[in-house]
Amino acid sequence: MSGGMKESYAAADIRYLAAFQEETVPARLRLAAALQDAIWNPDHESLTVIDIGCGRGVTATVLAAANPGWDVHGLDLQPAHIAEAREIAEEAGLSNLHFHEADIAALDEAALARTLPEADLIILYGVWTWVPDVVREGIVRLLGSRLKPGGMLLIGYNSLPGFSDSVVLQRIMAQGMAASSGSDAERAGAAVGIVKVLADAGARYLPAEKMLERLTGYSDGMSSYLAHEYGTGFWRPEFGFDVRKAMVPARLDYVGSAVPAEVAPELNLRPEQRLALEGLPPGMDRDFMMDLFLLRRFRRDVFIKGKRPGGRGMLAHLPFALFMAPEKIELSIQTIAGRAELPAAANAALIEALVAGPKTLGQLASLPACSGLSPADLGLILSTTNTALPLWRAPGTGDAARAARTNRVLLSRLGAESAASSSPLGFVVPALGGGHIISASDLGVACALQSGVPPEPTELAQRLCRPGATAEEVTRVEQGAAGLLARHYATWKALGAV
């Protein structure tokens, strides 16, 4: 949660998990916009980015590290978050990264102009549904003042109707935490215990059993997440159409999902469901009606200030690079009706072409075996399966030493916490214009490779294992390193990441 008046915010002292949001990578956002026929194509090397509610600063750090010419700003209410993020930025040598302790509700347009430049991209991830109206008003004021014409907003928020089963649960958790004492972890644990007592006693309006099992099964390392998710009295999931209405004063036009595959009707709806939506009267909100059928609790929406059509015409020119070892690739997507797969000949031709080096979607669509597949079809399946990733710049270009240094700092500062909480860190890859999500253990292997350790499981285990590690621990690290090398070493090397 970011912004607002400290004395009024019940959750202002909760320390959030350090995590990287992969949807913020600009090459992915450009692809998402293009797939939904909107143009977003800013200057690759001189973007300005604002991350509202940046938390511990991981996402802003990855973006700034991968792009030395960018100007990246993170805002958060909590001084502890900002102090830590600034230390990481200084240790990594990221002079283009700036963090601000900001009370967004208290900043008028003049103050915003003094504090922040105009931005090509504003990130608002995990903020909107955790803050009161006064902060939401400040956010919209910031968006209207600081987002450039043609600039993009990525907003991630808990949504309705997907989160409707947890509205009552959150109220119980918030009251249970407020009535308990101790640390965040202890108060969250006490609140979970209260929920369990009520569930066992037959309370009628709690979520389904599977959701309750997920809640009570959280490890101690996830206690900060529970406190963040449920500990504030301001928490309110939102319908997508209400969020779109709230963005009107900032003159933002809705584009669609930052993850187009999660809303593609052909992937997510049965034929009779698609027919039902197609038969609705004109004027009904199709986006809302679509949400009645989707299993999504967290929306990741994209807006553009002054949306222009023509994005689909850009798709043929977007480059992709292989991200997975060819023998590990499975070019199929799970749909409501089963798995959607490419013909075997198209599958083989795509892999062969990408093994030879990066290709544009137009080049891939022109392969004889891919006849009938459009650049949009290929962009959707390649990005959804992570078989290949959209590039922001040519592999091997960019500041590799800067990226490696930042990866080491993220690992040393946040690796142990990430491993305990299973929250993903980011692996900085300049060719991607950002990075990709990675576990702490895998980032350890990547950092060792970047420091010159040979790609041999035994040597990597020797570097990564603590002194006195048991033979069983060493074997486990060797096996993990071997699996990671098999999946990604060749593609990391081709991207210039190791």
Stretch 404-430: mean pLDDT, rounded?
Answer: 94
Candidates 84, 122, 115, 121; CA nearest to 100 is: 115
Stretch 343-358: mean pLDDT, rounded?
Answer: 94
Candidates 128, 103, 104, 163; CA nearest to 252 is: 128
Q: What integer best gives the mean pLDDT of the chain?
A: 90
pLDDT for 10 equals 40
Q: Is the pLDDT of residue 216 over 70?
A: no
pLDDT for 31 equals 98
Distance (Å, whole) CA 363 – CA 303: 29
Q: What is the model's pTM?
A: 0.91
Stretch 91-115: mean pLDDT, rounded?
Answer: 95
For residue 3, name the pLDDT band (cuts at 50, 70, 90): very low
Domain ranges within the chain, ordered by starting residue: 6-162+236-311, 164-230, 317-390, 439-495
pLDDT for 12 equals 47
For residue 222, name the pLDDT band (cuts at 50, 70, 90): low
Candidates 77, 66, 257, 83; CA nearest to 156 is: 257
pLDDT for 337 equals 62
Q: Is the pLDDT of residue 454 over 60?
A: yes
Taking only the tens place, the pLDDT of each residue in 254-313 is 999 999 999 988 888 988 999 999 999 988 998 999 999 988 889 999 999 999 999 999
Taking only the tens place, the pLDDT of each residue in 31-90 is 999 999 999 999 999 999 999 999 999 999 999 999 999 999 999 999 999 999 999 999
Angle between helices 79-92 and 400-421 (to 10 degrees): 140
Stretch 182-206: mean pLDDT, rounded?
Answer: 85
In CATH, the number for domain 6-162+236-311 is 3.40.50.150
* 210: exposed, middle or buried (Cβ count in 10 Å: 0-12, 13-18, 19+): exposed
pLDDT for 425 equals 96
